[in-house]
Chain A
Amino acid sequence: MTTAHVTAAAPAPASLPARLDALAAVLGDADDPANPLGDRAVLDADERGEMLTAGEEALHAFGLNAEFVPAYLGGRLTRLDHLVDVMRAVYRRDPCLGLGYGASSFIAGVNVWTAGDDTQRRAAAALLGAGGRIAVAYHELAHGNDMTRTEFTALPAGGRLLLDGRKEVITNVRRADALVLFARTSTAPGSRSHSQLYAEKTDLAADRTAYLPRYRTTGMRGVQLGGVRFDACPLPAGSVLGAPGRGLETALRSFQITRTTLVSMSAGIVDSALETTLRHVRARRLYGRTAADLPHVRSVVTGVFSDLLAADCFATVGTRALHLLPAETAIHAQAVKFFVSQALLDAMNRLSGVLGAAFYLREGPAARFQKLLRDIQPVGFGHAARAACQVSLLPQLPLLARRAWREGHAAPSALFAPGEELPPLDFGALALSAAGRESLGTSLAAGLAAMPDGQGPAYRLLRRYGEHFVRELTRLGEDCAALDPAELSVTASPYAYDLTSRYVGVLVAASCFETWRRARHSGTPFLSDPHWAAAALYRLSTPRGAPPRTLPAPLEDALWERLSERHRTGGGYLLLPRSPHHHPVGTPGRQQ
């Protein structure tokens, strides 16, 4: 049941800039009302609660699915940071396309690449390569993120497996060509009773399969969320991905990749929303000047830019860690998902305050904002809720205090070099548990000790707040070593949950500081300027629960200038400025 699409294009060029160019060319100009993939068309499809068909066809022509398939299986996936860059371009245009065409097949694929055998990998790669979709069916409404309580069964019967039960709120489940299902393959309690299954729809008996009605949602309205019910539906025993009973392990490994990269892709939504906001405040005249000239507006928008840079820096470090430090990313992935999702949500809410009534309008020049504000919401609960990430981090805290924070290792400098070379991604190297060994947090003390000389307020603030977060890690070490073992699960007190937030704050600070320090060493433009890093640490040091601190004038002025320059050149508002023509219209040729 492969969906009818336009004919596949010639193989896309391999380099990232060439792929971004090709994608920009198929997406066309967002502002052109005649563009079938422009903002007008995106908003119309959203109003109808439908996927943008022309967009799906264009992404098929671009071969987006190939971005999800490792190169050794014929795809283009070699680097996760490149995948994120490509997907951000899609999310900037339409988050429904990002999730509904792309990311759900990617999650399914990562399960197959992590645990499947060669035959299963090749089958999934071929299906994606032909433009097919794979839905990823873990979720049951009754159990949320509590995967071990999964009721859906695939129990052995007469040399086959029999599927029984329901999966609910699953993207594309009806129109997908294959499913990755998370099922109980043993009735025994515990953590060795589950498995992933890879099932192509052609292997599923239609009279044993029933689709549940679509779930309607506030945001991501075009995404086709559905459910499925199986009633003793037979499946070949060879459909299990990996050894039976290893499903929880596969999930905990593969989700390190998908939790980190999906939330990072969503930064494209805020990038887009900030552009909309800047256009609005520069055009809007109030009290005899533009809104952009009002100090409060400037302050809020600059604060959002700073927070977005910090969030992207952390997401980028987390993504690079999947290549560089796969023994540690069981921690980083939870921390990135937890922090970046909230940073993005907060940024959107603050921007809506700047837009005022304009954020509420479903038409006019700022109309896409209200859609982006709705579409970003799942970042906080989809593919792991933020609180579930905290619960996963909690039992690591006493171990970190006992191991990593005493040992005090520094992470390799390549971790802090956005855009630069990475070793190959090894799905098999991702460790199930970091076992209290994590070198990002302790990199800050080593980095401060090696901080190059400098002058000026930004430099002084960077040092001062760097020292603040080094002390914070010392205090955390004392607090976590004394933590009651009864506080290390879902029944933990707010105090214990707060320790995870504090720890994640240190990780973000270390990411920003060390990225600045490395850029300063290598002379990378923009990143080597201390203002952005000083601003990031200053805002991060806001006491939890308080509104974020307004930046000191020297930081705000410098960042406003950078922000205005990005606005003029179309470089976007994320850590690495992108080439202007990747912004709305495609023209060939550029460097990364």
Chain B
Amino acid sequence: MIEKFFTEAVLVGIIASGIRLATPYLYASIGETFGQRSGVLNLGVEGQMLLGAFAAFYVSLTTGNLWFGLLAAMLTGLIMGLGMAFVSINLQAVQGISGIGFYLFGLGLSDLLFQKLMGTVVTVSGFRPIYFPVLSDLPIVGQIFFNHNILVYGAYAMVFVAWFVLNKTTLGLKIKAVGESPEAADSLGVSVSKIRYLTISFGGMMSGIAGASLSIALLNVFQQNMTSGLGFIAVALVYFGGWRPIAVMGGALLFSMVNSLQLWVQVLNIPIPSDFAVMMPYVLTIIALVVTVQRVRPPSALTKPFERGH
């Protein structure tokens, strides 16, 4: 039975599909990593993704230019991020609750705009897989690594950019200082508000791109609530990865590949009930999360509003 898995088509399918499926998680969770490292939990990721997905889709559809669509998603996410920053920094609202508020706002508004501006489900011609001369034609490796669209590659590139910024730059040091001890950072002249505004709005922008990666690159369609909880999984992946970009990528790839594996389990008619198969990625994530949580400590100031002099 298990030997069915060890064929080229299945293994290539699982890995290539896992790489592709991880894309929206990567954008959203890398953005969220920045916010959380600076001490702000944004549970509105899903809403930002939905609005980003709609903006990208609608602008691409009306202008015929996918790059304008991507830009619209980034701007939409950025505005949502600025809103979240205002609520959590200036108004010092409870972050978990306000994040849920932003999620519901994104869910409702994206649907409303979809109903009013489009009215029915249509498709766009999204970003196509890039052809790399020679490389794309390689057996196995070509299919796994060199047959994806630009937003897939962008997601993995952002992981390394995030790692570099957080670990090798002064800005990264400031972000971590603000997330660990905002009082100490403040006393050394680092503006806690400015850093948090920067990270949350960047996170919003990344969530917008995550939405765009679905609507104009992977699926090329917009539908009400199309993210279907993906944004919340992205937040969980930040914890899973212990607030470190490379580990977050590992978590996203693991989750996506197990998801892809369970699709193959069913297609290969392996006698596991479908209910158990679809549970696989979630069960594995919970187990890994339990193990990780005992190993890594979250940023000390996470979810705590900062007020000078208090």
Tell me if chain B binds chain A. no
Chain B residues within CB distance 8 Å of chain A:
none
**Residues on A facing B (Cβ under 8 Å):** none
